[in-house]
Amino acid sequence: MQQSGQSTAQKQEKNHSHHLHPFSDNGALKEEGARIIESAQGVYLYDSDGNQILDGMAGLWCVNIGYGRQELVEAACHQMKELPYYNTFFKTTHNPAIQLAEKLAEITPEHMNHVFFTGSGSECNDTVLRMVRHYWATKDQPAKQVIISRENAYHGSTVAGASLGGMKPMHKQGGLPIPGIVHIQQPYWFGEGGDLSPEAFGLKAAQALDEKILELGEDKVAAFIAEPIQGAGGVIVPPSTYWPEIKRILNKYDILLVVDEVICGFGRTGEWFGSDYYGLKPDLMPMAKGMSSGYLPIGGVMVSDRVASVVQAGGDFNHGFTYSGHPTAAAVALENIKILQNENIIEKAKTETGPYLQKRWAELADHPLVGETRGVGMVAALEITNNKEARTRFDDEGTAGTICRDFCFKNGLVMRAVGDTMIISPPLIISHAEIDELVTKAQKCLDLTMEYFKSW
Ligand code: PMP
């Protein structure tokens, strides 16, 4: 809602008097002032000073169909009039939950036919933790408790989500990770590959899973969880050898595979799911974000037939959320999926706009500050370096990334910095002309960052 008549500074002042922001230094933000986004259309955001900004991150990797789709507004409005809320506990269901569950079974891999609804990606991963342990307990193997994850993974911000994640700054706060979760090396060649080729490094990183399973004992390990492409960790596209080797290792053991599709799901890679892109056969698949293109909060864990049959036979599963299968959010998700299907948005991302984005993005590799570009479909990253050969950074603090990100925002582009890795994940509906604009702006901001370091 627009608070007309108030200046940006006045709104910022009110904001900081009463609002604590997620993943922010709230003290520093008070000095700087939060940017205020007031409206959006297509791939563009509009702020309280009237600036138009190209949203290279689709919000937080979620607005896959772009902003301003009236059909989703109408779906929410219609459902709110009919039944704004009811729960799915206590032997109850409702039409949007029934229809969305059926639709998700249709679009996800063939062996996945049940969904456990949540309100977010983090809630999905809390559900994962409890469901995999419940699964093994129901199968009379209660010792299979440990979940293996990866350093620098992101699986959410709740206690289980942050513990499953491998973010050190998150673990430092609140005594995480909780017991029963361990982390192995990530397949991040640019940062950790040393002298190995990407292919050799991919194999090595995958073999860390085998080593960890042998160290812990197969009888103790419940599951391995991973994002197909690490998102918040810096769009880490694993070397081509990584996933085939992980698959080979998991085939040897009776361990569940959890593929976190919160970012990759609903078209980000040019396929419906990252699992389709890499040919993975997950036992559980947490999903959120693109499910409703972020228009309303909703998520769900897709459950394979193998796990669902055990959960169904296992008596009460004492877990759930007030908003599991929220009818209005479910109606909006259904409409969103209908648009993705009817307008062939994912197909176009695979065959037209995705390849064009990757081609244009790869041109940035010629920039003196860029050590590597990488990407898949509609997600990409570049590494800022002060030495392309040695793959070293300007400093340890990720200052270059932050500087580049701030230049981007001032020049009408949202491009996110993860340390010195710059990442993009635009709405899937971005046009060729808008991709040109994105790359031109990114280039300009890299130039500005270089000038800054020259005068350093
Ligand atoms: N898993 C992944 C892979 C994510 O990227 C995120 C959020 N960025 C989450 C889980 C957590 O989702 P949420 O913020 O909706 O809780």
Summarised one tens digit per residue, pLDDT across range 296-346 is 999 999 999 999 999 999 999 999 999 999 999 999 999 999 999 999 999
Residue 352 per-residue DSSP state: I
Q: Give the ligand 1 atom nearest the CA of 158.
A: 16
Q: Give the ligand 1 atom nearest the CA of 230.
A: 3
Helices (H), 183-241: 189-192, 198-216
CB 164 within 8 A of CB 153: yes
Cα 39 to Cα 50, 94, 207, 383, distances in angstroms? 10, 32, 47, 31
Split at pLDDT 50, 70, 90, the class of 395 is confident
Residue 447 φ/ψ region, left for φ over 0, alpha for ψ in the -120 to 50 degree band, beta for the rest: alpha
Rounded distance from Cα 252 to ligand 1 centre (Å): 29
Rounded distance from Cα 271 to ligand 1 centre (Å): 19
Residue 371 has pLDDT above 70, yes or no: yes
CB 127 within 8 A of CB 284: no
**Was domain 35-68+346-454 assigned CATH 3.30.565.10?**
no
Please give the angle made by the CA atoms of 197, 282 and 207, to the nearest 5 degrees: 30
Q: What are phi and psi of 182, to 5 degrees?
A: -125, 155
Q: What gap in Å lies between CA 234 and CA 223, rounded to an integer?
A: 24
Q: Best substitution site from 57, 152, 155, 326 to test ligand 1's pocket, by max atoms within 8 Å of Cβ?
A: 155
Q: What gap in Å lies between CA 45 and CA 52, rounded to an integer?
A: 6
Rounded distance from Cα 197 to ligand 1 centre (Å): 31
Q: Read off the pLDDT of residues 228-258 as tens digits, 9 standing for 90 and up.
A: 999 999 999 999 999 999 999 999 999 999 9
Q: E strands along 247-378, which residues?
A: 256-259, 284-287, 299-304, 370-376
Q: Best substitution site from 186, 262, 285 to test ligand 1's pocket, by max atoms within 8 Å of Cβ?
A: 262
Q: Read off the pLDDT of residues 105-123 as tens digits, 9 standing for 90 and up.
A: 999 999 999 999 999 999 9
Would you state the pLDDT for residue 396?
A: 75
Q: Best substitution site from 60, 128, 263, 418 to test ligand 1's pocket, by max atoms within 8 Å of Cβ?
A: 263
Residue 320 φ/ψ region, left for φ over 0, alpha for ψ in the -120 to 50 degree band, beta for the rest: left
Element (H, E) at 424: strand 421-424
Q: What gap in Å lies between CA 191 and CA 380, rounded to an integer?
A: 16
Rounded distance from Cα 141 to ligand 1 centre (Å): 29
User: Which CATH number does the domain 71-342 belong to among 3.30.70.260, 2.60.40.10, 3.40.640.10, 3.20.20.10?
Assistant: 3.40.640.10
Would you state the pLDDT for residue 289?
A: 98
Split at pLDDT 50, 70, 90, the class of 1 is very low
Q: What gap in Å lies between CA 371 and CA 387, rounded to an integer?
A: 7
CB 384 within 8 A of CB 449: yes
Residue spans per domain, the chain: 35-68+346-454, 71-342
Q: Read off the pLDDT of residues 149-201 as tens digits, 9 standing for 90 and up.
A: 999 999 999 999 999 999 999 999 999 999 999 999 999 999 999 999 999 99
Would you state the pLDDT for residue 398?
A: 83
Q: Give the ligand 1 atom nearest the CA of 125.
A: 10
Among 280, 259, 236, residue whose Cα is nearest residue 376: 236
**ipTM score for this prediction:** 0.99
- Asked whether the whole model's pTM tops 0.80, one would answer yes
Measuring from each residue's beta carbon to the nearest atom of ligand 1, which residues come in under 6 Å? 60, 120-122, 125, 154-156, 161, 227, 231-232, 260, 262-263, 288
Q: Give the ligand 1 atom nearest the CA of 153.
A: 3
Q: Which residues of 225-242 are buried (b: 16+ CB within 10 A; e: fewer)?
A: bbbbbbbbbbbbbbbebb
Q: Best substitution site from 118, 122, 301 to test ligand 1's pocket, by max atoms within 8 Å of Cβ?
A: 122
